[in-house]
Amino acid sequence: MSQPPIHPLSFNGRTFSVEELRLIQEVSASCAALGRTEMARTVCELLVWKRPTGRLKNHEGRRLLERLQELGWLRLPPVRPLGRKGPRLLPASAQSDPEAPVTGAVGELAPLTLEVVRPGPASRLWREYIARYHYIGERVPVGATLRYLVRSAPCPGRVLACLGWSSAAWRLAVRDCWIGWSDAQRRQNLPYVVSNSRFLILPWVQVPGLASAILARCARQLPADWAARYAVQPLLLETLVDPARFRGTCYRAANWIALGRTQGRGRMDRTHQAHGRAPREVHVYPLCPQVQQRLCAAPAPARAEAGEAPDGP
Q: What is the 3-state secondary structure (H, E, C) of 57-82?
A: CHHHHHHHHHHHHHCCCCCCCCCCCC
In this structure, is residue 305 part of a structural domain?
no
What pLDDT score does 270 carry? 45
Q: What is the CATH number of the domain that holds 108?
A: 3.40.630.30
Residue 203's nearest CA partner among 94, 98, 313 is: 98
Question: In this predicted model, what pLDDT tens digit does every residue of 184-231 receive, in sequence order?
Answer: 899 889 999 999 999 999 999 999 999 999 999 999 999 999 999 988
Structural domains counted in the chain:
2
> How far is it, in rounded angstroms, from Cα 279 to Cα 269?
13
CB–CB of 145/196 below 8 Å? no
Across the chain, mean pLDDT equals 85
The pTM of the full predicted model, rounded to 2 decimals, is: 0.71
Identify the pLDDT of residue 46: 84
CA distance linking residue 85 with residue 14, whole number of Å: 29
246 found inside a domain: yes
- Domain assignment present for residue 275? The answer is yes
- 312 occurs within a structural domain: no
Q: Are residues 60 and 170 in the same domain?
A: no
DSSP H helix total and E strand total for the chain: 9, 9
Q: Are residues 20 and 153 in the same domain?
A: no
Tell me, yes or no, whether 28 and 133 share the same domain: no
Higher pLDDT, 28 or 101: 101
Q: Quick check: is 189 in a domain?
A: yes
Assess whether 276 and 194 both reside in one domain.
yes
Residue 131 has pLDDT above 60, yes or no: yes
Q: How wide is the angle at C-alpha 245 spanned by C-alphas 292 and 104, nearest 5°?
A: 90
Residue 303 lies in a domain: no
In a domain, 229, yes or no: yes
Domain membership flag for residue 221: yes
**Are both 30 and 166 inside the same structural domain?**
no
**Is residue 160 located within the same domain as residue 211?**
yes
Task: Put residue 304 in one of left, alpha, beta given phi > 0 → left and psi -120 to 50 → alpha.
Answer: beta
Give the residues across from 237 on adjacent strands: 194, 285
**Are residues 64 and 211 located together in one domain of the fold?**
no
Does 59 share its domain with 204? no
For the stretch 258-312, pLDDT in tens is 999 987 655 444 444 444 468 899 999 999 999 999 999 878 776 433 333 333 3
DSSP string covering 182-225, please? -HHHHHHHGGGEEEEEEEEE-TTB--TTHHHHHHHHHHHHHHHH
Return d(Cα 55, Cα 229) in angstroms, integer.
11
The answer to whether residues 60 and 107 belong to one domain is no
Does residue 282 share a domain with residue 232?
yes
C-alpha pair distances (Å), 313 with each of 162, 184, 206: 14, 29, 28
Strand bridging mode 193-201 / 236-241: parallel
Rounded Cα–Cα distance for residues 223 and 192 (Å): 10
104 and 188 belong to one structural domain: yes
210 shares a domain with 103: yes
Full residue range of the structural domain in which residue 16 is found: 9-70
